[in-house]
Amino acid sequence: MGGLKAGLPCTVAAQWREPGGVQARNFGHRYWVREDCDLEIMSPVSHPSPPERVVAEPTIVYPEAAFETAVLAVLRAGPSMSKLPFVVVPRLGLDIAVFIGNSAESSRVHFVEAKSYGGQRPGGVGFGNGNGEGPQVDVLLAEPPGPLDASVHWAFVDATRDVGTARYALIDCQEARAAAMGGVARGKQNNFKVSALTHHLVGWLKFRDQLTSCVGIGSR
């Protein structure tokens, strides 16, 4: 609640659930913010342009292209938060590339690969092709893994879970390797095991913060 110290009015961003039938019918309630939902208070002083920087949780995150669009929206909202110039480029080997900085000395690049589970495979989300080929497989088989852990992240959503719940995860390459069914290998269809990602799941607001922070363009 510290954001209120800057005074009112302020903007509140929060996770929400659908209200029950009685609440909706008798009282006209449209949103239900439970005690366990993430909530964020942003003052107009510290955050002068909330509509431009706050990306609301998407209601549709499957098929995968829909989730990728949501991830892109969060990253592209970064100019209002970042002090460094950067460019977001989709489909550059992996789903999204973020180039940051304007000089050879300070420039860096981060990649984000988006994965969405909608029950398309029982308990699994595929990556690469059926022969174990493609940039995603190449990244997870690369050695040494250290530089890739700092530069490549995997954004995941369990689309079978409801809006407003903990259904998102952002993991590095080491965590992605650990979540691969039977390990990552050539000559097969590789899959992430959804149950192995469960303990990484967070709500939308925390995921949004993790996403922009991991590439160094802000905290929203």
Give the helix, strand, coil percentages of the chain, each rounded to 5: 30, 25, 40
Share of the chain above pLDDT 90, in %: 53
pLDDT of residue 17: 59
Domain boundaries, the chain: 1-48, 49-214
* Residue 92, pLDDT above cutoff 80: yes
pLDDT in tens, 8-65: 555 666 666 566 666 666 666 666 676 666 666 655 544 444 444 578 999 999 999 9
CB-based contacts of 68, cutoff 8 Å, min separation 6 = 90, 95, 96, 114
pLDDT in tens, 115-151: 999 999 999 999 999 999 999 999 999 887 667 888 9
pLDDT of residue 45: 45
Helix (H) or strand (E) holding 87: strand 86-92
Cβ atoms of 169 and 207 within 8 Å: the answer is yes
pLDDT of residue 88: 86
* Residue 162, pLDDT above cutoff 70: yes
Cβ atoms of 39 and 14 within 8 Å: the answer is yes
DSSP secondary structure string, 203-215?
Answer: -HHHHHHHHHHHT
Cβ atoms of 155 and 114 within 8 Å: the answer is yes
